[in-house]
């Protein structure tokens, strides 16, 4: 299981800009990328928009957001090594899925733009659960759809909330540190500096022993 933004694809500028452009076009304040990212914890896109705009959002408001997302991610690419990692995991028989704080629709737009959609039969978005990460519900739903036990799953993500989500669910957490810029999480037990490291960690008899 993988997080999306900042883990599989480099959207940590384009995704916040889609929010920022939506918010200003809907009469809200001008926000920086950091200010948008700081608001992501409240939930999926409609919740974030309502939080920032301080009002209920309409279906037209949400469609405005998706229009900006589609334009923003048109040229998005996977991080170097991600496609090779997914090929290796797929060839080894791993079942692959995505659980992201983004909405399912936005996630599918990003995966398709990056050419990664074929790898993931299961995509769970923040709008599929009633509590955002680090709550474990989305990860558990994804594992259920894939037909695997959560205890037999690994969740790869770049943020502390991803690792907390894995721990809460009972899955193995792997910290993806290949993002730009990489994020250091104190106490992260399993660390992948490069996507290929994920393959190596999962290939060990007991990956939880490797730091």
> What CATH number has the domain bearing residue 179?
3.40.50.1000
Whether residue 5 lies inside any domain: the answer is no
Instruction: Please check whether residue 148 is in contact with residue 116, taking contact to mean a CB–CB distance below 8 angstroms.
Output: no
The tens digit of pLDDT for each residue in 65-94 reads 999 999 988 889 999 999 999 999 999 999
Q: Which residues contact 88 (CB under 8 A, 6 or more apart)?
A: 196, 199
Q: Which of 178, 176, 144 is nearest to 162 (CA)?
A: 176
pLDDT value of residue 182: 67
Residues 104, 197, single domain; the answer is yes
* Separation of alpha carbons 58 and 60, rounded Å: 5
When pLDDT is cut at 50, 70 and 90, the band that residue 173 belongs to is: very high
Whether residue 8 lies inside any domain: the answer is no
When pLDDT is cut at 50, 70 and 90, the band that residue 14 belongs to is: confident
Which tops the pLDDT comparison, 205 or 199? Answer: 199
> What CATH number has the domain bearing residue 50?
1.10.150
Above 50 in pLDDT, residue 210? no
Residues 200, 99, single domain; the answer is yes
Residues 136, 191, single domain; the answer is yes
Residues 107, 193, single domain; the answer is yes
Above 80 in pLDDT, residue 122? yes
Residues 87, 44, single domain; the answer is no
Whether residue 2 lies inside any domain: the answer is no
Residues 61, 87, single domain; the answer is no
Its domain, for residue 120, covers 82-209
């Amino acid at each position: 299981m993988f997080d999306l933004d900042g883990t599989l694809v480099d959207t940590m500028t384009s995704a916040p800009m889609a929010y920022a452009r939506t918010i200003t076009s809907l009469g809200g304040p001008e926000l920086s990328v950091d200010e948008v990212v700081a608001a992501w914890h409240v939930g999926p896109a409609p919740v974030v928009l309502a939080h920032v705009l301080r009002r209920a959002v309409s279906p037209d408001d949400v469609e405005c957001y998706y229009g900006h997302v589609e334009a923003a991610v048109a040229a998005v690419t996977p991080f170097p090594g991600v496609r090779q990692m997914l090929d290796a995991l797929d060839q080894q028989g791993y079942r692959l899925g995505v659980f992201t704080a983004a909405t399912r629709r936005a996630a599918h737009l990003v995966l398709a733009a990056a050419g990664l959609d074929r790898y993931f039969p299961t995509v769970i978005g923040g709008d599929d659960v009633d509590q955002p990460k680090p709550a474990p519900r989305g990860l558990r739903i994804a594992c259920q759809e894939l037909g695997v036990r959560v205890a037999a799953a690994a969740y790869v993500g770049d943020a502390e909330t991803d690792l907390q989500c894995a721990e809460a669910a009972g899955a193995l957490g792997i910290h993806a540190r290949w993002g730009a810029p990489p994020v250091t999480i104190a106490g992260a037990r399993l660390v992948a500096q490069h996507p290929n490291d994920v393959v190596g960690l999962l290939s060990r008899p007991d990956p939880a022993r490797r730091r």
